[in-house]
């Protein structure tokens, strides 16, 4: 795939960030990312996985802000998928940026959590691991094929106490009520490799905005008062991030909780203090995360 950045994205990035930061973002988007894995602590210990990688003569690096994350050096995906630790569900292939929302969420024992758009299950299984399988998670997915993938990953990873629903989360009954909600919203993927596909268009951004706003409104309706939710996208455009929050939060008496437990990552300037926008780089995809409290 030839890496060519669409002209309209150049313009959007320059308008939002200015010329200097735009160039840095473009450079990051063009970088070839290494493979990254998350140790599934429901099935294996971190050192145990590192020892197994050593035995396979696979070079790797740790990640300062998250013990469970490992950066694989100079290995293709197939090589990792051939390992028993992958086949047994002891590790999960996941980008570093996409590990952030579940960490920000801090799922705890007996919390009733909704994952609104959960397939293929990376963040769902991560929340199960973080809560030691003691949180109660409802995982929504409207697409049947993606739903099957989600079920497969939940079983493979040993994720328990997950209720899977084939449902468009926007249509969930308002009688539902959750302690915490993760909304990893469908987006244009402007912080990822998706920008190099034919799928990436201005129309996709506009369509995503509409869905994001509808999902966020639903989330805030069914989130218990005084509780928190996480909104995230793999977009670096404020029209899919801060603008959505600014449009929706005031209507629900909801406010931003500053994110403080993620450090040492490359970030972009944001227009809402306390939110995080990860800058595309050699290691990271572009990603936006906001923690919200419904007062």
- Across-strand partners of 71? 36, 61
Q: Are 237 and 205 in contact (CB under 8 A)?
A: yes
Q: For residues 130 and 102, is the Cβ–Cβ distance under 8 A?
A: yes
Instruction: Tell me the per-residue pLDDT of 116-137, one tens digit each, with 9 for 90 and over.
Output: 999 999 999 999 999 999 999 9
* Residue 2 predicted with pLDDT over 80: no
> Any idea where the domains of the chain sit in the sequence?
35-93, 97-294
Q: Over the range 210-229, which residues count as b (16 or more CB within 10 Å of their CB) and which as e?
A: ebbbbbbebbbebbeeebbb
Question: What pLDDT band is residue 275 in, cutting at 50, 70 and 90?
Answer: very high
Q: How far lies 147's CA from each of 117, 120, 126, 211, in Å?
A: 10, 7, 17, 19
Spatial contact of 109 and 160, defined as CB atoms under 8 Å apart:
no
DSSP β-bridge partners for residue 255: 293
What three-state secondary structure class fits 221?
A: helix
153-207 pLDDT, tens digit each: 999 999 999 999 999 999 999 999 999 999 999 999 999 999 999 999 999 999 9
Q: What is the pLDDT of residues 233-264, one digit of tens each?
A: 999 999 999 999 999 999 999 999 999 878 88
Strand blocks (E) in 42-199 = 60-62, 69-72, 91-93, 112-115, 136-141, 162-166, 180-184
Q: Please give the Cα distance from 295 to 288 (Å, whole number).
A: 22
For the chain, state the CA radius of gyration. Answer: 19
| Whole-number Å distance between alpha carbons of 24 and 270 | 16
Q: What fold characterizes domain 97-294?
A: Rossmann fold (3.40.50)
Q: What is the mean pLDDT of the chain?
A: 96
Secondary-structure class of domain 35-93 per CATH: alpha beta
250 DSSP 8-state letter:
G
Among residues 276, 184, 270, 178, the alpha carbon closest in space to that of 228 is found at 178
- Determine the Cα–Cα distance for residues 55 and 68; give it in Å rounded to an integer: 19
pTM above 0.75, yes or no: yes
pLDDT of 1 reads: 58
**Catalytic residue positions?**
234
- With b for 16 or more beta-carbon neighbours within 10 A and e for fewer, the 118-137 pattern comes to bbbbbbbbbbbbbbebebbb
What letter would DSSP give residue 190? T
């Amino acid at each position: 795939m030839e890496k060519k950045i669409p002209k309209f994205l150049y313009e959007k990035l320059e308008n939002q960030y200015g010329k200097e930061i735009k160039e840095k973002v473009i450079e990051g988007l063009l970088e070839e990312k290494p493979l990254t894995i998350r140790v599934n602590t429901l099935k294996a210990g971190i050192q145990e996985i590192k020892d197994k990688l050593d035995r396979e003569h696979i070079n790797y690096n740790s990640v300062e802000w998250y013990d469970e994350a490992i950066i694989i050096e100079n290995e293709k995906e197939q090589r990792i998928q051939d390992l028993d630790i992958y086949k047994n569900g002891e590790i999960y292939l996941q980008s570093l940026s996409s590990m952030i929302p579940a960490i920000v969420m801090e799922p705890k024992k007996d919390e009733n959590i909704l994952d609104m758009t959960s397939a293929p299950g990376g963040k769902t299984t991560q929340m199960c691991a973080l809560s030691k399988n003691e949180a109660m998670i409802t995982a929504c997915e409207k697409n049947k094929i993606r739903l099957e993938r989600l079920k497969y990953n939940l079983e493979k990873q040993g994720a328990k106490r997950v209720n899977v629903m084939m449902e468009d989360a926007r249509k969930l009954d308002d009688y539902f009520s959750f302690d915490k909600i993760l909304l990893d919203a469908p987006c244009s993927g402007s912080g990822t490799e998706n920008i190099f596909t034919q799928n990436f268009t201005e129309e996709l951004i506009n369509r995503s905005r509409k869905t994001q706003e509808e999902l966020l409104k639903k989330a805030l309706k069914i989130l218990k008062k005084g509780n928190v939710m996480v909104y995230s996208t793999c977009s670096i455009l404020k029209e899919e991030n801060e603008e959505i929050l600014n449009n929706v939060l005031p209507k629900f008496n909801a406010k931003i909780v500053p994110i403080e437990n993620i450090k040492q990552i490359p970030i972009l300037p944001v227009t809402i203090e306390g939110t995080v926008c990860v800058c595309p780089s050699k290691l990271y995809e572009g990603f936006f995360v906001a923690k919200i409290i419904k007062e």
